[in-house]
A = this chain, B = another copy of it.
Amino acid sequence: MSNYDKNLDKNNANFVPLTPLSFLERAKDIYPNYDALIYEDRKYTWSEIFKRCTKFASALEKIGIGTGDTVSVMAFNTPEIFEAHYSVPMCGAVLNTINTRLDAKTVAYILDHSEAKVLIVDRQLHSVIEKALSISKIKPIIIDIQDNFADQKLLKKIGDKEYENFLSSGDENYKWKIPKDEWQAISLSYTSGTTGNPKGVVYHHRGSYLMSTGSAVAWNMPNRLNFLTVVPMFHCNGWGYPWTIPMLNGKTICLRAIDIKKIFDLIEKHEITHFGGAPIVLNMITGAPESDKKKLHRKVYVLTAGAPPPSIIFKKMKALGFEVMHVYGLTETYGHVTQCAWNDEWNKLDEEKQNEIKARQGVRYPNTEGVTIMDPETMKEVPRDGKTIGEIMIRGNIVMKGYFKDKDATEKAMKGGWFHSGDLAVMHPDGYVKIQDRSKDIIISGGENISSIEIENTLAKHPGVSIAAVVAKPDEKWGEVPCAFIEKVQDKEVTEKELIDFCRETLAGFKIPKKIEFCELPKTSTGKIQKFELRKKAKEIN
Protein backbone atom coordinates (compact mmCIF):
# COMPACT_ATOMS: atom_id res chain seq x y z
CA MET A 1 0.00 0.00 0.00
CA SER A 2 1.51 3.29 -1.10
CA ASN A 3 1.47 6.43 1.03
CA TYR A 4 -0.87 7.93 -1.57
CA ASP A 5 -3.55 5.52 -0.36
CA LYS A 6 -3.25 6.45 3.30
CA ASN A 7 -5.32 9.13 5.04
CA LEU A 8 -6.33 10.70 1.74
CA ASP A 9 -9.92 9.52 1.63
CA LYS A 10 -13.08 11.09 0.30
CA ASN A 11 -14.82 13.46 2.66
CA ASN A 12 -17.56 16.08 2.45
CA ALA A 13 -15.10 18.80 1.48
CA ASN A 14 -13.40 17.04 -1.42
CA PHE A 15 -15.98 14.70 -2.91
CA VAL A 16 -19.44 15.54 -4.20
CA PRO A 17 -21.42 13.21 -6.49
CA LEU A 18 -21.56 14.62 -10.00
CA THR A 19 -25.05 15.77 -10.94
CA PRO A 20 -26.31 18.27 -13.50
CA LEU A 21 -28.85 19.49 -10.94
CA SER A 22 -26.20 21.64 -9.30
CA PHE A 23 -25.88 23.71 -12.51
CA LEU A 24 -29.31 25.28 -11.86
CA GLU A 25 -28.41 26.30 -8.33
CA ARG A 26 -25.17 27.87 -9.53
CA ALA A 27 -26.92 29.88 -12.25
CA LYS A 28 -29.39 31.07 -9.62
CA ASP A 29 -26.54 32.09 -7.31
CA ILE A 30 -24.71 34.06 -10.02
CA TYR A 31 -27.53 35.61 -12.05
CA PRO A 32 -30.67 35.43 -9.86
CA ASN A 33 -32.57 38.09 -11.78
CA TYR A 34 -31.59 37.26 -15.34
CA ASP A 35 -34.00 35.53 -17.73
CA ALA A 36 -33.57 31.78 -17.66
CA LEU A 37 -36.59 30.40 -19.49
CA ILE A 38 -38.94 32.04 -21.98
CA TYR A 39 -42.09 30.63 -23.51
CA GLU A 40 -44.59 32.78 -25.41
CA ASP A 41 -45.83 35.31 -22.79
CA ARG A 42 -44.16 33.52 -19.86
CA LYS A 43 -40.71 34.43 -18.62
CA TYR A 44 -38.83 33.14 -15.59
CA THR A 45 -35.60 34.30 -13.99
CA TRP A 46 -33.06 31.87 -12.55
CA SER A 47 -34.29 32.44 -9.02
CA GLU A 48 -37.90 31.93 -10.11
CA ILE A 49 -37.09 28.71 -11.97
CA PHE A 50 -35.00 27.42 -9.09
CA LYS A 51 -37.83 28.11 -6.66
CA ARG A 52 -40.42 26.52 -8.97
CA CYS A 53 -38.30 23.39 -9.35
CA THR A 54 -37.53 22.96 -5.66
CA LYS A 55 -41.17 23.65 -4.71
CA PHE A 56 -42.38 21.10 -7.24
CA ALA A 57 -39.84 18.58 -5.89
CA SER A 58 -41.15 19.27 -2.41
CA ALA A 59 -44.76 18.82 -3.59
CA LEU A 60 -43.79 15.46 -5.12
CA GLU A 61 -42.15 14.41 -1.87
CA LYS A 62 -45.28 15.39 0.05
CA ILE A 63 -47.33 12.91 -1.95
CA GLY A 64 -44.79 10.19 -1.26
CA ILE A 65 -42.48 10.34 -4.28
CA GLY A 66 -38.81 9.68 -3.59
CA THR A 67 -35.65 7.85 -4.61
CA GLY A 68 -36.25 5.11 -7.15
CA ASP A 69 -39.78 6.20 -8.07
CA THR A 70 -40.70 7.01 -11.66
CA VAL A 71 -42.39 10.27 -12.65
CA SER A 72 -43.54 10.30 -16.27
CA VAL A 73 -43.99 13.42 -18.35
CA MET A 74 -45.80 13.55 -21.68
CA ALA A 75 -45.52 17.11 -22.88
CA PHE A 76 -44.51 19.45 -25.65
CA ASN A 77 -41.54 21.80 -25.23
CA THR A 78 -43.08 24.07 -22.59
CA PRO A 79 -41.55 25.26 -19.30
CA GLU A 80 -43.07 22.33 -17.39
CA ILE A 81 -40.97 19.64 -19.10
CA PHE A 82 -37.83 21.77 -18.69
CA GLU A 83 -38.61 22.12 -14.98
CA ALA A 84 -39.26 18.38 -14.64
CA HIS A 85 -35.61 17.80 -15.60
CA TYR A 86 -34.78 19.35 -12.23
CA SER A 87 -37.82 18.92 -9.97
CA VAL A 88 -38.21 15.16 -10.48
CA PRO A 89 -34.58 14.16 -9.74
CA MET A 90 -34.39 16.88 -7.04
CA CYS A 91 -36.58 14.66 -4.83
CA GLY A 92 -34.59 11.58 -5.85
CA ALA A 93 -37.08 10.30 -8.43
CA VAL A 94 -36.46 9.31 -12.06
CA LEU A 95 -37.79 11.35 -14.99
CA ASN A 96 -39.50 9.34 -17.69
CA THR A 97 -40.30 11.48 -20.71
CA ILE A 98 -42.83 10.04 -23.16
CA ASN A 99 -42.96 10.83 -26.86
CA THR A 100 -46.07 12.95 -27.52
CA ARG A 101 -46.93 11.12 -30.74
CA LEU A 102 -47.19 7.64 -29.32
CA ASP A 103 -50.41 5.65 -29.53
CA ALA A 104 -52.44 4.72 -26.44
CA LYS A 105 -51.30 1.09 -26.39
CA THR A 106 -47.62 2.03 -26.35
CA VAL A 107 -48.17 4.71 -23.73
CA ALA A 108 -49.97 2.15 -21.57
CA TYR A 109 -47.05 -0.22 -22.00
CA ILE A 110 -44.58 2.48 -20.93
CA LEU A 111 -46.64 3.51 -17.89
CA ASP A 112 -46.87 -0.10 -16.75
CA HIS A 113 -43.26 -1.02 -17.50
CA SER A 114 -41.83 2.14 -15.92
CA GLU A 115 -44.10 1.74 -12.86
CA ALA A 116 -44.98 5.41 -13.16
CA LYS A 117 -46.38 6.85 -9.92
CA VAL A 118 -47.12 10.26 -11.38
CA LEU A 119 -47.86 11.37 -14.92
CA ILE A 120 -47.49 15.04 -15.81
CA VAL A 121 -49.33 15.61 -19.05
CA ASP A 122 -50.21 18.38 -21.44
CA ARG A 123 -54.01 18.63 -21.56
CA GLN A 124 -53.91 18.50 -25.35
CA LEU A 125 -52.86 14.85 -25.03
CA HIS A 126 -55.75 13.76 -22.87
CA SER A 127 -57.60 11.72 -25.45
CA VAL A 128 -54.65 9.37 -25.88
CA ILE A 129 -54.00 9.32 -22.14
CA GLU A 130 -57.61 8.47 -21.35
CA LYS A 131 -57.39 5.50 -23.69
CA ALA A 132 -53.96 4.50 -22.33
CA LEU A 133 -55.24 4.53 -18.76
CA SER A 134 -58.12 2.29 -19.73
CA ILE A 135 -55.56 -0.29 -20.92
CA SER A 136 -52.77 0.10 -18.34
CA LYS A 137 -52.70 -1.83 -15.09
CA ILE A 138 -51.03 1.09 -13.31
CA LYS A 139 -53.04 4.20 -12.44
CA PRO A 140 -50.60 7.06 -11.78
CA ILE A 141 -51.57 10.38 -10.27
CA ILE A 142 -52.27 12.72 -13.19
CA ILE A 143 -50.98 16.30 -13.08
CA ASP A 144 -52.36 18.48 -15.86
CA ILE A 145 -50.30 21.06 -17.74
CA GLN A 146 -52.72 23.84 -18.56
CA ASP A 147 -51.15 25.68 -21.51
CA ASN A 148 -52.95 28.59 -23.14
CA PHE A 149 -51.14 27.83 -26.37
CA ALA A 150 -52.41 24.25 -26.58
CA ASP A 151 -55.01 23.35 -29.17
CA GLN A 152 -58.08 24.36 -27.16
CA LYS A 153 -60.38 22.04 -29.10
CA LEU A 154 -58.57 18.99 -27.73
CA LEU A 155 -58.71 19.92 -24.06
CA LYS A 156 -60.66 17.76 -21.66
CA LYS A 157 -60.21 17.71 -17.92
CA ILE A 158 -59.21 14.34 -16.59
CA GLY A 159 -56.24 15.16 -14.33
CA ASP A 160 -56.21 14.68 -10.58
CA LYS A 161 -54.25 17.86 -10.09
CA GLU A 162 -53.26 20.96 -12.04
CA TYR A 163 -49.55 21.76 -12.43
CA GLU A 164 -49.51 25.27 -10.93
CA ASN A 165 -51.79 24.33 -8.04
CA PHE A 166 -49.71 21.29 -7.31
CA LEU A 167 -46.52 23.36 -7.48
CA SER A 168 -47.88 25.85 -4.98
CA SER A 169 -48.44 23.05 -2.45
CA GLY A 170 -44.65 22.63 -2.20
CA ASP A 171 -42.37 24.09 0.43
CA GLU A 172 -40.67 27.40 -0.46
CA ASN A 173 -37.46 26.42 1.30
CA TYR A 174 -37.18 22.79 0.31
CA LYS A 175 -33.59 21.57 0.15
CA TRP A 176 -33.12 19.50 -2.98
CA LYS A 177 -31.53 16.09 -2.62
CA ILE A 178 -28.15 15.58 -4.14
CA PRO A 179 -27.89 11.88 -5.07
CA LYS A 180 -25.91 9.77 -2.60
CA ASP A 181 -24.23 8.07 -5.53
CA GLU A 182 -23.62 9.66 -8.92
CA TRP A 183 -24.51 6.30 -10.49
CA GLN A 184 -28.12 6.83 -9.31
CA ALA A 185 -30.70 6.91 -12.11
CA ILE A 186 -31.79 10.37 -13.29
CA SER A 187 -33.97 9.50 -16.27
CA LEU A 188 -35.67 6.74 -18.24
CA SER A 189 -36.33 7.10 -21.99
CA TYR A 190 -38.03 4.49 -24.12
CA THR A 191 -36.61 3.78 -27.57
CA SER A 192 -39.06 3.91 -30.42
CA GLY A 193 -38.84 0.14 -30.80
CA THR A 194 -39.58 -0.58 -34.43
CA THR A 195 -39.87 -4.26 -33.58
CA GLY A 196 -41.29 -5.58 -30.33
CA ASN A 197 -41.84 -3.51 -27.22
CA PRO A 198 -39.87 -0.31 -26.61
CA LYS A 199 -36.88 -0.62 -24.30
CA GLY A 200 -36.29 1.71 -21.33
CA VAL A 201 -32.90 3.41 -21.42
CA VAL A 202 -31.66 4.44 -17.97
CA TYR A 203 -29.31 7.44 -17.54
CA HIS A 204 -27.45 8.31 -14.34
CA HIS A 205 -26.45 11.64 -12.78
CA ARG A 206 -22.76 11.19 -13.61
CA GLY A 207 -23.47 10.59 -17.29
CA SER A 208 -25.79 13.57 -17.61
CA TYR A 209 -23.20 15.82 -15.95
CA LEU A 210 -20.49 14.61 -18.34
CA MET A 211 -22.83 14.94 -21.32
CA SER A 212 -23.14 18.63 -20.46
CA THR A 213 -19.44 19.34 -20.04
CA GLY A 214 -18.63 17.29 -23.15
CA SER A 215 -21.23 19.04 -25.30
CA ALA A 216 -20.08 22.50 -24.28
CA VAL A 217 -16.45 21.70 -25.08
CA ALA A 218 -17.12 19.93 -28.38
CA TRP A 219 -19.52 22.54 -29.72
CA ASN A 220 -17.63 25.62 -28.42
CA MET A 221 -20.71 26.74 -26.54
CA PRO A 222 -20.15 30.11 -24.88
CA ASN A 223 -21.56 31.38 -21.60
CA ARG A 224 -24.89 33.21 -21.71
CA LEU A 225 -25.93 31.81 -25.10
CA ASN A 226 -29.57 31.87 -26.26
CA PHE A 227 -30.83 28.38 -26.99
CA LEU A 228 -34.01 27.42 -28.84
CA THR A 229 -35.56 24.04 -27.96
CA VAL A 230 -36.30 22.65 -31.41
CA VAL A 231 -35.46 19.07 -30.44
CA PRO A 232 -38.29 17.70 -28.26
CA MET A 233 -37.22 17.47 -24.62
CA PHE A 234 -38.78 14.00 -24.54
CA HIS A 235 -36.13 12.86 -27.01
CA CYS A 236 -32.95 11.79 -25.07
CA ASN A 237 -33.79 14.60 -22.65
CA GLY A 238 -33.52 17.08 -25.50
CA TRP A 239 -29.95 15.82 -26.13
CA GLY A 240 -29.12 16.88 -22.56
CA TYR A 241 -29.58 20.61 -23.20
CA PRO A 242 -32.03 21.31 -20.34
CA TRP A 243 -28.99 20.57 -18.17
CA THR A 244 -26.23 21.95 -20.40
CA ILE A 245 -27.69 25.40 -20.98
CA PRO A 246 -27.99 26.27 -17.25
CA MET A 247 -24.37 25.13 -16.79
CA LEU A 248 -23.50 27.95 -19.22
CA ASN A 249 -25.92 30.39 -17.60
CA GLY A 250 -27.65 30.43 -20.99
CA LYS A 251 -31.24 31.31 -21.78
CA THR A 252 -33.66 28.60 -22.98
CA ILE A 253 -36.43 29.64 -25.34
CA CYS A 254 -39.22 27.07 -25.63
CA LEU A 255 -40.73 26.09 -28.96
CA ARG A 256 -43.90 24.05 -28.36
CA ALA A 257 -44.07 22.51 -31.81
CA ILE A 258 -42.11 22.70 -35.07
CA ASP A 259 -43.25 25.74 -37.01
CA ILE A 260 -40.66 27.15 -39.40
CA LYS A 261 -42.04 30.68 -39.51
CA LYS A 262 -42.03 30.73 -35.73
CA ILE A 263 -38.44 29.47 -35.60
CA PHE A 264 -37.34 32.44 -37.73
CA ASP A 265 -39.43 34.82 -35.62
CA LEU A 266 -37.95 33.54 -32.35
CA ILE A 267 -34.41 33.66 -33.74
CA GLU A 268 -34.91 37.36 -34.40
CA LYS A 269 -36.88 38.20 -31.26
CA HIS A 270 -34.65 36.42 -28.74
CA GLU A 271 -31.34 36.62 -30.60
CA ILE A 272 -31.06 32.85 -30.70
CA THR A 273 -27.46 31.72 -31.08
CA HIS A 274 -27.80 27.93 -30.91
CA PHE A 275 -30.26 25.13 -31.55
CA GLY A 276 -30.30 21.47 -32.49
CA GLY A 277 -32.53 19.71 -34.97
CA ALA A 278 -32.88 16.48 -36.91
CA PRO A 279 -31.95 16.65 -40.61
CA ILE A 280 -35.64 16.54 -41.46
CA VAL A 281 -36.18 19.78 -39.55
CA LEU A 282 -33.29 21.42 -41.37
CA ASN A 283 -34.92 20.24 -44.56
CA MET A 284 -38.16 21.93 -43.51
CA ILE A 285 -36.23 25.12 -42.77
CA THR A 286 -34.45 25.25 -46.11
CA GLY A 287 -37.55 24.18 -48.00
CA ALA A 288 -39.91 26.66 -46.35
CA PRO A 289 -41.58 29.32 -48.53
CA GLU A 290 -39.60 32.58 -48.69
CA SER A 291 -42.38 34.38 -46.81
CA ASP A 292 -41.72 32.22 -43.74
CA LYS A 293 -37.98 32.89 -43.72
CA LYS A 294 -36.12 35.86 -42.25
CA LYS A 295 -32.62 37.15 -42.85
CA LEU A 296 -30.31 36.23 -39.96
CA HIS A 297 -28.56 39.17 -38.32
CA ARG A 298 -25.86 37.02 -36.78
CA LYS A 299 -24.51 33.53 -37.24
CA VAL A 300 -26.74 30.84 -35.74
CA TYR A 301 -25.06 27.58 -34.74
CA VAL A 302 -27.00 24.42 -35.44
CA LEU A 303 -26.29 20.88 -34.35
CA THR A 304 -27.85 18.13 -36.40
CA ALA A 305 -28.30 14.52 -35.41
CA GLY A 306 -30.92 11.81 -35.24
CA ALA A 307 -30.46 10.47 -38.76
CA PRO A 308 -27.62 10.64 -41.27
CA PRO A 309 -28.01 14.01 -43.01
CA PRO A 310 -27.78 14.19 -46.80
CA SER A 311 -24.72 16.28 -47.68
CA ILE A 312 -26.80 18.77 -49.69
CA ILE A 313 -28.45 20.01 -46.48
CA PHE A 314 -25.18 21.65 -45.35
CA LYS A 315 -25.09 23.72 -48.52
CA LYS A 316 -28.70 24.82 -48.20
CA MET A 317 -28.35 25.75 -44.53
CA LYS A 318 -25.13 27.66 -45.12
CA ALA A 319 -26.85 29.72 -47.79
CA LEU A 320 -29.31 30.88 -45.12
CA GLY A 321 -26.53 31.82 -42.68
CA PHE A 322 -26.64 28.78 -40.39
CA GLU A 323 -23.43 27.02 -39.34
CA VAL A 324 -24.24 23.35 -39.01
CA MET A 325 -22.19 20.79 -37.12
CA HIS A 326 -23.07 17.17 -37.65
CA VAL A 327 -23.02 14.94 -34.61
CA TYR A 328 -24.08 11.35 -34.01
CA GLY A 329 -25.34 9.30 -31.14
CA LEU A 330 -28.23 7.23 -29.85
CA THR A 331 -30.75 7.27 -27.05
CA GLU A 332 -28.46 4.73 -25.37
CA THR A 333 -25.56 7.25 -25.38
CA TYR A 334 -27.36 10.30 -23.88
CA GLY A 335 -27.55 11.72 -27.40
CA HIS A 336 -24.51 12.59 -29.48
CA VAL A 337 -21.05 11.19 -28.86
CA THR A 338 -19.27 11.88 -32.14
CA GLN A 339 -18.80 15.08 -34.13
CA CYS A 340 -17.47 15.87 -37.53
CA ALA A 341 -14.54 17.96 -36.19
CA TRP A 342 -13.20 20.11 -39.00
CA ASN A 343 -9.72 19.83 -40.55
CA ASP A 344 -8.14 22.97 -42.02
CA GLU A 345 -6.93 21.24 -45.17
CA TRP A 346 -10.53 20.51 -46.13
CA ASN A 347 -11.01 24.23 -46.75
CA LYS A 348 -9.17 23.71 -50.03
CA LEU A 349 -11.72 21.18 -51.31
CA ASP A 350 -14.69 22.19 -53.43
CA GLU A 351 -17.97 22.78 -51.64
CA GLU A 352 -19.57 19.52 -52.66
CA LYS A 353 -16.66 17.52 -51.33
CA GLN A 354 -16.71 19.59 -48.13
CA ASN A 355 -20.38 18.85 -47.64
CA GLU A 356 -19.79 15.16 -48.17
CA ILE A 357 -17.22 15.28 -45.39
CA LYS A 358 -19.64 17.19 -43.16
CA ALA A 359 -22.06 14.30 -43.57
CA ARG A 360 -19.57 11.96 -41.84
CA GLN A 361 -20.33 11.03 -38.25
CA GLY A 362 -16.72 11.83 -37.43
CA VAL A 363 -14.73 11.40 -34.25
CA ARG A 364 -15.49 11.00 -30.56
CA TYR A 365 -16.59 13.68 -28.10
CA PRO A 366 -14.23 14.54 -25.22
CA ASN A 367 -16.56 12.68 -22.82
CA THR A 368 -16.35 9.49 -24.86
CA GLU A 369 -13.48 7.04 -24.37
CA GLY A 370 -13.87 5.04 -27.51
CA VAL A 371 -15.78 4.98 -30.79
CA THR A 372 -14.73 2.34 -33.25
CA ILE A 373 -16.04 -0.02 -35.90
CA MET A 374 -15.86 -3.72 -35.31
CA ASP A 375 -17.05 -6.96 -36.70
CA PRO A 376 -19.65 -7.71 -34.00
CA GLU A 377 -18.91 -11.43 -34.16
CA THR A 378 -15.15 -11.33 -33.73
CA MET A 379 -15.00 -7.95 -31.92
CA LYS A 380 -12.02 -7.07 -34.13
CA GLU A 381 -11.69 -3.58 -35.59
CA VAL A 382 -12.30 -3.32 -39.33
CA PRO A 383 -9.49 -1.87 -41.49
CA ARG A 384 -9.45 1.92 -41.87
CA ASP A 385 -10.13 1.76 -45.57
CA GLY A 386 -13.40 3.65 -45.94
CA LYS A 387 -14.90 0.49 -47.40
CA THR A 388 -15.14 -2.40 -44.96
CA ILE A 389 -18.46 -2.29 -43.16
CA GLY A 390 -18.71 -3.09 -39.45
CA GLU A 391 -20.81 -2.02 -36.47
CA ILE A 392 -20.18 1.21 -34.56
CA MET A 393 -19.09 0.37 -31.01
CA ILE A 394 -19.03 2.94 -28.20
CA ARG A 395 -17.45 2.99 -24.76
CA GLY A 396 -17.48 5.64 -22.07
CA ASN A 397 -19.31 7.29 -19.21
CA ILE A 398 -22.04 8.42 -21.58
CA VAL A 399 -23.21 4.90 -22.34
CA MET A 400 -26.47 4.20 -20.45
CA LYS A 401 -26.67 2.22 -17.20
CA GLY A 402 -28.63 -0.32 -19.20
CA TYR A 403 -32.17 -1.21 -20.22
CA PHE A 404 -34.72 -1.02 -17.40
CA LYS A 405 -35.80 -4.45 -16.19
CA ASP A 406 -34.18 -6.14 -19.17
CA LYS A 407 -31.01 -7.94 -18.11
CA ASP A 408 -30.71 -9.91 -21.33
CA ALA A 409 -31.00 -6.94 -23.65
CA THR A 410 -28.52 -5.00 -21.48
CA GLU A 411 -25.97 -7.79 -21.56
CA LYS A 412 -26.41 -8.26 -25.29
CA ALA A 413 -25.99 -4.53 -25.96
CA MET A 414 -22.82 -4.31 -23.82
CA LYS A 415 -21.25 -7.59 -24.96
CA GLY A 416 -17.48 -7.58 -25.01
CA GLY A 417 -17.16 -4.30 -23.08
CA TRP A 418 -18.54 -2.11 -25.87
CA PHE A 419 -22.00 -0.75 -26.54
CA HIS A 420 -23.27 -2.19 -29.83
CA SER A 421 -24.96 0.65 -31.68
CA GLY A 422 -26.66 -1.35 -34.40
CA ASP A 423 -25.37 1.17 -36.95
CA LEU A 424 -23.27 -0.10 -39.82
CA ALA A 425 -20.38 2.10 -40.86
CA VAL A 426 -16.95 2.33 -42.38
CA MET A 427 -13.82 3.91 -40.88
CA HIS A 428 -11.98 6.31 -43.15
CA PRO A 429 -8.16 6.22 -43.10
CA ASP A 430 -8.18 9.44 -41.02
CA GLY A 431 -10.25 7.80 -38.27
CA TYR A 432 -13.54 9.45 -39.22
CA VAL A 433 -16.62 7.25 -39.03
CA LYS A 434 -19.23 7.25 -41.80
CA ILE A 435 -22.50 5.43 -41.34
CA GLN A 436 -23.59 3.23 -44.18
CA ASP A 437 -26.85 2.08 -42.70
CA ARG A 438 -28.75 0.74 -39.75
CA SER A 439 -28.14 -3.03 -39.66
CA LYS A 440 -31.73 -3.60 -40.68
CA ASP A 441 -31.72 -1.01 -43.47
CA ILE A 442 -28.84 -2.34 -45.52
CA ILE A 443 -29.86 -3.73 -48.90
CA ILE A 444 -28.25 -6.98 -50.02
CA SER A 445 -28.44 -7.33 -53.78
CA GLY A 446 -26.77 -10.20 -55.59
CA GLY A 447 -24.48 -10.65 -52.57
CA GLU A 448 -23.42 -6.98 -52.54
CA ASN A 449 -24.11 -4.73 -49.53
CA ILE A 450 -25.76 -1.51 -50.68
CA SER A 451 -26.05 1.47 -48.36
CA SER A 452 -29.55 2.92 -48.59
CA ILE A 453 -28.06 6.18 -47.31
CA GLU A 454 -25.65 6.50 -50.23
CA ILE A 455 -28.54 6.31 -52.69
CA GLU A 456 -30.65 8.74 -50.62
CA ASN A 457 -27.76 11.18 -50.58
CA THR A 458 -27.50 11.05 -54.35
CA LEU A 459 -31.23 11.52 -54.87
CA ALA A 460 -31.35 14.42 -52.40
CA LYS A 461 -28.99 16.39 -54.64
CA HIS A 462 -31.61 16.55 -57.39
CA PRO A 463 -33.31 19.99 -57.28
CA GLY A 464 -36.76 18.40 -57.46
CA VAL A 465 -36.24 16.15 -54.41
CA SER A 466 -37.09 17.31 -50.90
CA ILE A 467 -36.54 14.00 -49.05
CA ALA A 468 -35.55 10.58 -50.33
CA ALA A 469 -35.87 7.24 -48.55
CA VAL A 470 -34.55 4.02 -50.00
CA VAL A 471 -35.43 0.52 -48.80
CA ALA A 472 -34.97 -3.08 -49.95
CA LYS A 473 -37.60 -4.56 -52.22
CA PRO A 474 -37.67 -8.37 -52.48
CA ASP A 475 -36.54 -9.56 -55.89
CA GLU A 476 -36.57 -13.07 -57.30
CA LYS A 477 -33.30 -12.73 -59.17
CA TRP A 478 -31.19 -10.48 -56.92
CA GLY A 479 -32.67 -11.29 -53.51
CA GLU A 480 -33.23 -7.56 -52.87
CA VAL A 481 -33.13 -4.43 -55.01
CA PRO A 482 -33.23 -0.73 -53.97
CA CYS A 483 -36.62 0.97 -54.08
CA ALA A 484 -36.87 4.74 -53.55
CA PHE A 485 -39.69 6.83 -52.07
CA ILE A 486 -39.56 10.54 -52.81
CA GLU A 487 -41.11 13.66 -51.29
CA LYS A 488 -40.95 16.31 -54.01
CA VAL A 489 -40.07 19.97 -53.57
CA GLN A 490 -43.31 21.98 -53.76
CA ASP A 491 -44.22 23.19 -57.25
CA LYS A 492 -41.39 21.24 -58.90
CA GLU A 493 -42.05 18.49 -61.39
CA VAL A 494 -39.80 15.46 -61.59
CA THR A 495 -40.28 11.99 -63.06
CA GLU A 496 -39.04 8.53 -62.17
CA LYS A 497 -37.01 8.35 -65.37
CA GLU A 498 -35.33 11.68 -64.68
CA LEU A 499 -34.22 10.51 -61.23
CA ILE A 500 -32.97 7.17 -62.49
CA ASP A 501 -30.90 8.95 -65.13
CA PHE A 502 -29.64 11.33 -62.44
CA CYS A 503 -28.50 8.39 -60.27
CA ARG A 504 -26.80 6.78 -63.23
CA GLU A 505 -24.39 9.73 -63.45
CA THR A 506 -22.68 8.82 -60.15
CA LEU A 507 -23.90 5.45 -58.85
CA ALA A 508 -22.85 1.94 -59.84
CA GLY A 509 -25.53 0.06 -61.81
CA PHE A 510 -26.57 -2.30 -59.00
CA LYS A 511 -27.17 0.67 -56.69
CA ILE A 512 -29.67 2.42 -58.95
CA PRO A 513 -33.24 2.16 -57.59
CA LYS A 514 -35.27 -0.27 -59.62
CA LYS A 515 -38.45 1.52 -58.65
CA ILE A 516 -39.21 5.11 -57.60
CA GLU A 517 -42.46 6.18 -55.93
CA PHE A 518 -43.60 9.73 -55.15
CA CYS A 519 -45.52 10.17 -51.88
CA GLU A 520 -45.49 11.75 -48.45
CA LEU A 521 -43.06 9.79 -46.28
CA PRO A 522 -44.22 8.25 -42.99
CA LYS A 523 -42.22 9.77 -40.12
CA THR A 524 -41.83 9.30 -36.39
CA SER A 525 -42.34 12.24 -34.05
CA THR A 526 -38.60 12.84 -33.99
CA GLY A 527 -38.45 13.13 -37.76
CA LYS A 528 -37.09 9.70 -38.53
CA ILE A 529 -38.44 8.06 -41.63
CA GLN A 530 -40.39 4.92 -40.75
CA LYS A 531 -38.61 2.56 -43.09
CA PHE A 532 -40.52 -0.47 -41.88
CA GLU A 533 -43.67 1.13 -43.34
CA LEU A 534 -41.87 1.74 -46.62
CA ARG A 535 -40.60 -1.83 -46.73
CA LYS A 536 -44.20 -3.04 -46.47
CA LYS A 537 -45.15 -0.70 -49.29
CA ALA A 538 -42.16 -1.75 -51.42
CA LYS A 539 -43.24 -5.39 -51.19
CA GLU A 540 -46.60 -4.51 -52.66
CA ILE A 541 -45.33 -2.45 -55.59
CA ASN A 542 -45.06 -4.15 -58.94
A329 part of interface (Cβ distance < 8 Å): no
- Which residues of chain B are within 8 angstroms of A185 by Cβ–Cβ distance? 4, 8
CB of A233 to closest CB in B, whole Å: 21
Bound state CA distance, A26 and B370, in angstroms?
9
State whether A2 and B67 are in contact (beta carbons under 8 Å apart), knowing that A12-B395, A343-B31, A402-B14 are contacts in the complex.
yes
State whether A220 and B223 are in contact (beta carbons under 8 Å apart), knowing that A13-B418, A369-B16 are contacts in the complex.
yes
- Which residues of chain B are within 8 angstroms of A522 by Cβ–Cβ distance? none
Question: How many chain copies does the complex carry?
Answer: 2
- Which residues of chain B are within 8 angstroms of A3 by Cβ–Cβ distance? 68, 115, 404-405
- Decide: B407 and A7 in contact? CB cutoff 8 A: yes
Interface string of A402-427 (1 = CB under 8 A from B): 10110100100110011100000000
- Decide: B68 and A4 in contact? CB cutoff 8 A: yes
Interface string of A327-343 (1 = CB under 8 A from B): 00000000000000101
- Which residues of chain B are within 8 angstroms of A419 by Cβ–Cβ distance? 13-14
- Decide: A414 and B11 in contact? CB cutoff 8 A: yes
- Which residues of chain B are within 8 angstroms of A399 by Cβ–Cβ distance? 13-14
Interface string of A266-290 (1 = CB under 8 A from B): 0000000000000000000000000
* Contact residue among B5, B30, B31, B417 (Cβ-Cβ distance under 8 Å from A13): B417
Q: Which of A217, A397, A410, A414 has the most CB of B within 10 A?
A: A217
Q: Which of A13, A369, A397, A417 has the most CB of B within 10 A?
A: A13
- Which residues of chain B are within 8 angstroms of A386 by Cβ–Cβ distance? none
A248 part of interface (Cβ distance < 8 Å): yes
A431 part of interface (Cβ distance < 8 Å): yes
- Decide: A8 and B216 in contact? CB cutoff 8 A: no
* Contact residue among B6, B183, B216, B418 (Cβ-Cβ distance under 8 Å from A216): B216
In the complex, the chain B residue whose C-beta lies closest to that of A404 is: B3
In the complex, the chain B residue whose C-beta lies closest to that of A213 is: B213
Q: Which of A1-44 contact B (CB under 8 A)?
A: 2-16, 18, 22-23, 26, 29-31, 34
A401 part of interface (Cβ distance < 8 Å): yes
- Decide: B247 and A68 in contact? CB cutoff 8 A: no
- Decide: B8 and A410 in contact? CB cutoff 8 A: yes
- Decide: A183 and B369 in contact? CB cutoff 8 A: no
A255 part of interface (Cβ distance < 8 Å): no
State whether A29 and B404 are in contact (beta carbons under 8 Å apart), knowing that A4-B68, A8-B202, A414-B14 are contacts in the complex.
no
State whether A13 and B67 are in contact (beta carbons under 8 Å apart), knowing that A7-B402, A115-B3, A213-B213 are contacts in the complex.
no
- Decide: A417 and B11 in contact? CB cutoff 8 A: yes
- Which residues of chain B are within 8 angstroms of A183 by Cβ–Cβ distance? 10
Bound state CA distance, A222 and B223, in angstroms?
11
- Which residues of chain B are within 8 angstroms of A222 by Cβ–Cβ distance? 220
In the complex, the chain B residue whose C-beta lies closest to that of A406 is: B7
- Which residues of chain B are within 8 angstroms of A167 by Cβ–Cβ distance? none
CB of A17 to closest CB in B, whole Å: 9
Pick 11 A–B contacts, CB within 8 A, sort by A. Answer: A7-B407, A9-B402, A13-B394, A13-B417, A14-B399, A14-B400, A14-B402, A16-B369, A23-B366, A29-B363, A217-B247
